[in-house]
Structure 1
């Protein structure tokens, strides 16, 4: 596993990025630059399998489900404690461009790190257009605060590694400075919001100039905690290049963390690397606390 991870870490290849000629693109081309579902031909089948597996596992794993951490409807967290209360905990943030999906659909990821004695926490969060991205970003620290205050009562009192996929990776970058977070793993994220405002995704998000400036990790000071940044080699160029750019920005500021290109993975299959006990990203998570 170590050799495979090292090989991937040295195989960085930038993709031709349509954002380099953004002003020349049609609306359809701009939308396509961020349309992961359309870019992966079998995305519907992959999503259906993920959801089915999560539904099956969520009801069978040792867990404490639907615990409220805030006042909004989606402010609930699912806990999957390990045998030891002091075991490290992976807190995972789901994706969906901040406007779809839910924590229940990602329970299948528990098996990966749980096989190595870790606990897992999966919070939900509110979605656009019901709330703004500013509101969404603000909910993640509240989930972490709740886990710090109440986790031990449910068998989770260990160190926390924060991880997330897609929109969840963006939220990881925004919450990395929380005092309970030891380190992070951001997977397939978007780290500059400016182009998003020019796509159909913004119909729900309604991003303001202030939000683009304050909520784009590529436009903010670097948090000096370890953050590994992963992406699939077959992802859309916008996501590949955002990942590389964010890693390079952090490296230039002296922040610790690896860039992990997952060879052959697309936006959906990359989650297998966190789902399988022998997955590259499971190994990466475990090494974050070395």
Structure 2
């Protein structure tokens, strides 16, 4: 079931009593792996499918767009160079995962004649979140300058999952981006500093103020925001709050609640050619 109305049920947000919670309880509020009991199996299947597809799909892999080791992008061009392109930014709380592990998402939009680009990006603790956020516009700059040479020249829908959704929100104003699709994102960094995730991130006051989409002026470009109905409440509330902030400012975009989906199974809606989020991505071209 999919809900795209503004009447989506808001769960109890543990951050409303944040000061009363222990460090362990605060970390648990963002621990998607622990919250989804079969997450190891879901992650293993995702990684295996991506390894299999990455080796068989028509592609240009490991193209450097910057100087750091993870500044590489994988391109999966469609038959037509001017086809729409889904640029997908992976998640992992800005400190784990890589572009190679998400090649399984290519099949969804590729079935409709789209290209796909999957950029990697630098990770904490080797670099700061400020550096990580800067990587995505750098990848988009490279795509604008060089994509056509690899058969990728159509309009870009920028999508991302989890930490990748945060990076999508931060890069939405890039001129190469037509619209965005953010999945299961974190849009306020302040609570993250109070969790174990901050051991690697080492967030500063300035980063919380300038890199939290919920604390920044709204980008007036279409952004659909999706989340799973079985996600952790903190992530659900961030998605609802970010959509409401944008709607109040008159920015276009839908809030898409996928009932029954958790933080990992929501990706199936972008992986399947008939998936709800594939349909959402295609509507963003209208």
Aligned to 1:61: 57
Q: Give ranges in structure 1 of 5+ residues lacking alignment.
A: none
Asked if 1:140 corresponds to 2:144, the answer is no
TM-score normalised over the length of structure 2: 0.99
For 1:1-290, list aligned pairs within 5 A. Answer: 5=2, 7-9=3-5, 12-290=8-286
Report the count of equivalent residues.
286
Instruction: Determine helix, strand or coil for the equivalent of 2:117.
Output: strand
Residues 282, 9 of structure 1: CA spacing in aligned structure 2 closer, same or farther, 3 A cutoff? farther
Q: What is the CA–CA distance in structure 2 between the aligned matches of 1:27 and 1:69, rounded to whole Å?
A: 38
Q: What is the CA–CA distance in structure 2 between the aligned matches of 1:206 and 1:222, rounded to whole Å?
A: 26
Deviation of the 1:11 alpha carbon: 5.7
Deviation of the 1:90 alpha carbon: 0.3
| Over 2 Å off, 4+ runs | 7-11
Q: Give ranges in structure 2 of 5+ residues lacking alignment.
A: none
Q: What is the CA–CA distance in structure 2 between the aligned matches of 1:243 and 1:147, rounded to whole Å?
A: 28
Give a deviation string over 1:97-117, Cα, whole Å, max 9, x none: 000000000000000000000
